[in-house]
Structure 1
Amino acid sequence: MPRDTPTLPDWFDRRPLDQWLRQRGHDAFADSVAEICARRLNQPTNGDLKRWVAALAELPPAQGRHLDYSDSRVRVVGPDVDPIALRETLMRFHPWRKGPFEFLGLPIDTEWRSDWKWNRIARAVDLKQKSVLDVGCGNGYYGWRMLEAGASIVMGLDPILRFLMQFEVFDRYETGPRRNFVLPMVDTDLPEKLGAFDVVFSAGVLYHRTSPIDHLRSLAGALVPGGKLVLETLIIEDDQPSVLVPEDRYAQMRNVWFIPSPEMLFRWLRRTGFEDIKTIDITPTDTNEQRSTDWMTFQSLADFLDPEDASKTIEGYPGPIRATVVATKKKAE
């Protein structure tokens, strides 16, 4: 790294990932990852990050405890501690949006029942011995599930530092080889033609991009030829190639730009180098899957739907429906 680049903090250890990238000839990208992460984790004005790092030091010692992700709830297992003090420490990372998790017997009831989404996504592709890139990975919940499904390594990207620190809460209890990683990065940080991963996941990201085509191109560029894309996104119900562009907000979200119909989504994928495109699942999102909890006390989906007609958003648009599709990167462009 250049001399003026900050060094990575001690708690942020990604050496196994760095080694994996370099063993596969991606030295320049490994250097770029280290530089980007160092810059984003050394912001002197980020008081939240300092508080989160201090909270990590208050967690129970890792010795005698381990991480278990053999079922839907990713959990830290081992000798119990004072649950009241533990909850206070974990709540310093609030809001907890993706999960569920459990920490020494204390359930963390997250906003999203991400295990429901995972059950829909998991059947889309075989992950056994596959390298995976998870764009918009949140706090790494899906990465643990991917490892349980047989993935050899998972590199997750998410720019929200709160999610990175939630990942760190659990990652420090991993006693086996470290193979799940969350980085404070986005897909635009990827080289144009990286060609490093067997499978790329993008869940809940496409509609937040001002250029969905550029997002899909970046996903294609990260894949090896013949690699698989698993894409989950909001859609509109229309058998024609159409797109909903919200006037201002969609379900109170300002950063929703393009919601395609399935036919338009397939067209975008074909134009960006994918083939053999298949729809795996289409499911409306309801208030059982996304809701406020004691661990995410802010407004949630119920507050963003029309109180008189739950099939519509509060702005009058069709309510959230999510599709999961799988596609193959063409072997020859």
Structure 2
Amino acid sequence: MTLPHPLDLSRHWRDLYDPLLTHLCETGNAAWAGQLQNQLLQRFVSHPHGDLERWQNAYNGLPVSAAAKVLPNRSAVAVTANEPDQPDMRLGSLQPELEHALRGLMPWRKGPFEFFGLSVDTEWRSDWKWDRVAPHLSDLTGRTVLDVGCGSGYHCWRMWGAGASRVIGIDPGLLFLMQFLSLKRYDNAAPVDLLPIRVEDLPPDMAYFDTVFSMGILYHRRSPIDHLLDLKATLKPGGEVVLETLVIAGNEGEVLMPEDRYAMMRNVWFIPSSRSLKRWLARAGFVDIRVVDESLTSTEEQRATDWMQFQSLSDFLDPSDPSKTAEGYPAPLRATLIARKPR
């Protein structure tokens, strides 16, 4: 269904999510579709975000293009003209209008993206994370994929580009949703959706997804084992979890719990060693657990840009010793682990 223009989520959310809800009903998940409708009604109508109208106005300022598509296999996920001979917006008078609308959705944290040749240089080079993770994944072709804490949906597009038949991202942030929709409006038929909900809002023991990603989420959880159990509950038997999170160098049993902040973040609870994290996954019932990558986060991968003008990683490290955070803890080290739910 073509999304109404201008967008008003309090009125048009049913049109936005109708393809997904219809798909769920057609695949034997009518109960989840009904639950989801009630959650979206609450999110957009009963308890809307105070800035939602401003973000909707920015979205509504995006130029209309009758024939465009999203190219999900580029480092910068790109919106481009659908026909080779269609005039590109970068060559016309619409680029100032396009940039003004997209800047109304700042700050852009996860990406990068490109809109008709206009580069949106996000805080995170999320393509670098994808390049580290992708070589170790099972083939996503034909899979139904969940991305927990997906932000603006950058990795959702890359998952679809890797062959997934349907990708659902979940993140409660409505600014992230509006950023995602700024791409989706140009490729409305793409089987990629972002739901403004949390993993705790999903049906219990739904066993719906072939692959579930949780990247950059675990250390924000007060109960990390419960998060792992929530992830397992979303998976079909034999399904794969991809877990990327902060870790510390250390042996099994070692875990850092910051006294207050970590790298200026308040909501960081537990940072285990990779060996400890393997044990956590095993205790949560996963099998075939392996660490596929450990990488220090550099100030080239996470940094302030013209599209995210607040403080970033370089401001969160000890200026006299960048191997430590501002609080004196080890600088951010991230690990990716892949495991499987038993059949």
- Smaller-chain TM-score bracket: over 0.9
CA distance in 1 between counterparts of 2:151 and 2:48 reads 23
Partner residue, 1:75: 78
- Once the two structures are TM-superposed, the CA of residue 109 in structure 1 deviates from its matched residue by 0.3
CA distance in 2 between counterparts of 1:255 and 1:235 reads 15
Q: What amino acid is the match of 1:182?
A: L
CA distance in 2 between counterparts of 1:124 and 1:76 reads 27
* One of 295, 299, 309 as aligned partner of 2:307: 295
| Within-5 A mapping of 1:55-204 | 55-78=58-81, 79-80=88-89, 81-125=93-137, 126-174=139-187, 177-204=189-216
8 Å Cα contact 2:136/2:292 also seen in 1: yes
Q: Deviations over 1:261-305 (max 9, x none)?
A: 111101110111100001111000010000000000000000000
Q: What amino acid is the match of 1:24?
A: T
TM-score (norm 1): 0.94
**What secondary structure, in the 3-state scheme, does the structure 2 residue paired with 1:319 have?**
coil
CA distance in 1 between counterparts of 2:49 and 2:32 reads 26
Change (3 A) 1:45 1:228: closer
Structure 1 segments unaligned to the other structure (5+ residues)? 1-6
8 Å Cα contact 1:233/1:322 also seen in 2: yes
8 Å Cα contact 2:61/2:97 also seen in 1: no
| Within-5 A mapping of 1:11-50 | 13-43=16-46, 46-50=49-53
CA distance in 2 between counterparts of 1:73 and 1:117 reads 13
Q: What amino acid is the match of 1:265?
A: L
Q: Deviations over 1:210-263 (max 9, x none)?
A: 110111001000000000000000000002321100000000000000001111
CA distance in 1 between counterparts of 2:195 and 2:303 reads 27
- Once the two structures are TM-superposed, the CA of residue 23 in structure 1 deviates from its matched residue by 2.5
CA distance in 2 between counterparts of 1:185 and 1:44 reads 13
CA distance in 1 between counterparts of 2:73 and 2:264 reads 36
CA distance in 1 between counterparts of 2:60 and 2:104 reads 12
Partner residue, 1:10: 12
CA distance in 2 between counterparts of 1:64 and 1:25 reads 33
Structure 1 residues 126-135 or 62-71, which shifts more? 62-71
Q: Deviations over 1:75-127 (max 9, x none)?
A: 12133143333222111100000101011211000000000000111122221
Query: RMSD of the alignment, in Å?
Result: 1.5
CA distance in 2 between counterparts of 1:91 and 1:272 reads 42
**What secondary structure, in the 3-state scheme, does the structure 2 residue paired with 1:77 have?**
strand
- Once the two structures are TM-superposed, the CA of residue 43 in structure 1 deviates from its matched residue by 4.7
CA distance in 2 between counterparts of 1:43 and 1:234 reads 36
Indicate the percent of aligned positions where both proteins have the same amino acid.
51
CA distance in 2 between counterparts of 1:141 and 1:44 reads 26
**What secondary structure, in the 3-state scheme, does the structure 1 residue paired with 2:75 have?**
coil
**What secondary structure, in the 3-state scheme, does the structure 2 residue paired with 1:13 have?**
helix
CA distance in 2 between counterparts of 1:270 and 1:173 reads 42
Change (3 A) 1:166 1:45: closer
- Once the two structures are TM-superposed, the CA of residue 62 in structure 1 deviates from its matched residue by 2.8
CA distance in 2 between counterparts of 1:128 and 1:216 reads 24
- Once the two structures are TM-superposed, the CA of residue 8 in structure 1 deviates from its matched residue by 6.0
Partner residue, 1:232: 244
Q: Give the paired residue count.
A: 324
Structure 2 segments unaligned to the other structure (5+ residues)? 1-8, 82-87
* One of 315, 324, 331 as aligned partner of 2:336: 324
